[in-house]
A = this chain, B = another copy of it.
Amino acid sequence: MPRQRKNLSAAALQLIADRFKVLGEPMRLKILHALWNEEQTVGHIIAATHGLQANVSKHLGMLQQAGLVSRRKEGLNVYYRIVDDVVFDLCETVCESLHDRLTEQIGELAPLPHRKRA
């Protein structure tokens, strides 16, 4: 049975692409990585990612705009956390896929059994 292929409007395609695009930057992945297990302050994220404050803040804004993280202010600090579990699913899927591919390449590059010198 072939996979189902829905009709997709240009707007729908844009929504889907936007979702992927947000995840298509290493720095944003790094930030999400820092938020993987628990919410963190911006300061902590800056330290964990070794990013500049302005950069991290901008990326956090994008992640929030995309609805992937939420913002909570407490005193001087702002806490961010991942609010859309799709982040976990997508990243795990990609990691597994890359793992499989690289494993396959390793197999191709495996040394042949030794032959005796002529």
Interface residues of A (CB under 8 A from B): 2-3, 5-6, 8, 10, 12-26, 28-30, 33, 36-38, 67, 84, 86, 88-91, 93-95, 97-98, 101
Does the CB pair B93–A86 fall under 8 Å? yes
Does the CB pair A13–B30 fall under 8 Å? yes
The distance from the CB of A39 to the nearest CB of chain B, in whole angstroms, is 13
CB neighbours of A98 from chain B (8 A): 12, 15-16, 19
Copies in the complex: 2
Task: Give Cα distance in the complex from A48 to B72, angstroms.
Answer: 45
Task: Give Cα distance in the complex from A8 to B10, angstroms.
Answer: 35
The distance from the CB of A6 to the nearest CB of chain B, in whole angstroms, is 8
The distance from the CB of A47 to the nearest CB of chain B, in whole angstroms, is 16
